[in-house]
Amino acid sequence: MNLDWGYFFSLFSMASFWRASITVVEISTLSWGIGLVLGFCVACAKMSTSRWLSLPAAVYIWFFRSVPLLVVLVFVYNLPQLFPSTSAFLGVPFISGLLSLVVTEAAYMAEIHRGGLLSVAKGQREAGHALNIGFLGIQRLIVIPQAFRISLPSLINEYITVIKLSSLVSVISLPELLLTGQRLYTQNFLVLETLLAVAVYYVLIVTVFSSILQWVEKRLDVSSRKPTTLSDGECEEVRKAALPMPLKQNQRSAGAPPALSLKSLRKAYGNHVVLKDVDLNINIGDVVSVIGPSGSGKTTLIRTINRLETLDAGEVILFGEDFLKGGQSPARKTLKSGMLRIGMVFQSFNLFPHMTALDNIMMAPRYHGKAPDQTTNKAQALYLLDRVGLLAHANKYPHQLSGGQQQRVAIARALALSPDIILFDEPTSALDPEMVNEVLKVIQDLAKEGMTLVIVTHEMEFALSVSDRVVMMEHGIIQVNAAPSDIVDETHKTPEMVRMREFMGRQA
């Protein structure tokens, strides 16, 4: 038996096939797009800590991944027999087919989205919190762009699957490609030629739209972008446009309240008590280094100051005003105003990987409306990059920078909101030894300019050289709170001071 090639090629000039192709594209694209949004909502519900949200979402995913699409199509199309009022909508094959595809695909896409959301590091959310960005802002600006980029290859594959599944809507008499072909070959009995043409139409649709989506994927893939370093001449031109941004400093004065007053802070994880009634005052303009062995509670201490960790008991007072209290949720306005006065630099940098160094710095001021316009915001961000010695790398992404450069960008990002206090959580521990000095130099410059700094560090000599006081923690309590001069003065031989010198490697 020979194929009728003349008839086969004639099918590509047949208007009914092109109309059917448009129907396939419409129902597939709408199903994918609506399923994309609905699936994201279901994924968020499943990840919720509330059982009222997570359980129904889990049941929805389980059910619609278990029931064949063909069964859903037939059921939805015949639903008007049970509910006559729905016949105006569900009696239309296109709407019934669209609804069936959407509810089915949303279940699959929810799991794709969940995988993308889970792959976004916890530190990204913490960085957003430290910049006082709200939950929705963190999702919109930080989490969703990263999760979508990670999930996109799977979502593209799901779009191709939807195109092929659209052939099943032929059972409810929607004139898509397969039904159009079936009606034709029942008249002329040229089955193979007709189905071959149907296959070619599907291949054409899949090829065109997968190419478009792969182009989008490539555009969103920051890892494939080439690093661009500004030349000396370009840096000079940019430097002229930079807008100086002085540090925000509170005046030291007699009788002024401490910048930070920590009173009886207590924090436990289950039965393990990490902070045991910690008391500490940090005056305006002080540089306080917190040292101690691993597990002593020093990182937990500074994370409670900006509410990355909640307090079980105790109180944090900020410039003489109530800020945080153990066991209580602060008023929204109090929390926001307090958080804007505290910046934080993380051990692992936590830069936003989908943004350039410049965009990382511009994001928080733009979100909070700190700059009057985008031009001013950019000019101030360029000034801060120049200040940390990275103006030439303004347009690079975090993965294109060294560890020391990333940490300096993180410091500039924290400075962009003009905080009164900056917290440093072991800012050099994730760096190679040769990169440590470039970060310490920036911190040293901030200390000389009168910024209030709280630094958790393992750099003992740096702590002695830059600090007004060095605090040693061990077993969840402050063992020593002393000036560097007292630490190096070996006439002080209290057991606590001897232990501190031993820890710092200064005891003979």
User: Would you call 258 exposed, middle or buried from its count of C-beta atoms within 10 A (0-12, 13-18, 19+)?
Assistant: middle
Question: Rounded distance, CA 277 to CA 314, Å?
Answer: 7
Q: How far is CA 85 from the centre of its chain?
A: 45
Which residues have C-beta within 8 Å of that of residue 98, sequence separation ≥ 6?
Answer: 27, 30, 31, 34
Question: Rounded distance, CA 56 to CA 379, Å?
Answer: 49
At 88 the pLDDT is 84
pLDDT values of the chain reduced to their tens digit, one per residue, 508 residues: 577 888 888 888 888 889 999 999 999 999 999 999 999 999 999 999 899 999 999 999 999 999 999 999 999 999 888 888 888 888 889 999 999 999 999 999 999 999 999 999 999 999 999 999 998 999 999 999 999 999 999 999 999 999 999 988 888 888 888 888 888 888 878 888 888 888 898 999 999 988 998 898 888 888 888 888 888 888 998 888 888 876 666 666 666 788 899 999 999 998 889 999 999 999 998 999 999 998 889 999 999 998 899 999 999 999 989 898 987 888 888 888 889 999 999 999 999 999 999 999 999 999 998 888 888 999 999 999 999 999 999 999 999 999 999 999 999 999 999 999 999 999 888 787 777 888 888 898 888 888 899 999 988 888 888 899 999 999 899 998 989 888 888 777 788 888 888 888 866 4
Question: Rounded distance, CA 379 to CA 357, Å?
Answer: 14
Q: CA Rg, the chain, in Å?
A: 31
At 246 the pLDDT is 67
Residue in 243, 180, 223 with CA at minimum distance from that of residue 384: 243
**Which residues is 342 bridged to in the sheet?**
421
Structural tokens at position 501: 């010198």
Three-class SS of residue 24?
A: helix
Tell me if 133 sits within 8 A of 142, measured CB to CB.
Answer: yes
At 508 the pLDDT is 47
Place of tokens 């072909």: 181
Q: What b/e sequence results for 435-468 when a residue is b if at least 16 CB atoms lie within 10 Å of its CB, and e otherwise?
A: bbebbbebbbebbeebbbbbbbbebbebbbebbb
Size of the chain in residues: 508
Is the alpha carbon torsion for 417, 423, 429, 433 positive or negative? positive
Tell me if 455 sits within 8 A of 467, measured CB to CB.
Answer: yes
Three-class SS of residue 135?
A: helix
User: Would you call 294 exposed, middle or buried from its count of C-beta atoms within 10 A (0-12, 13-18, 19+)?
Assistant: exposed
Which residues have C-beta within 8 Å of that of residue 324, sequence separation ≥ 6?
Answer: 304, 305, 307, 311, 315, 316, 330, 338
Question: Rounded distance, CA 234 to CA 239, Å?
Answer: 8
Is the alpha carbon torsion for 283, 288, 290, 291 positive or negative? negative
Which residues have C-beta within 8 Å of that of residue 157, sequence separation ≥ 6?
Answer: none
CB-facing half-sphere around the CA of 408: CA atoms within 13 A: 25
Structural tokens at position 495: 């057991």
pTM: 0.88
Q: For the chain, which domains are there?
A: 5-220 (1.10.3720.10), 282-309+329-504 (3.40.50.300)
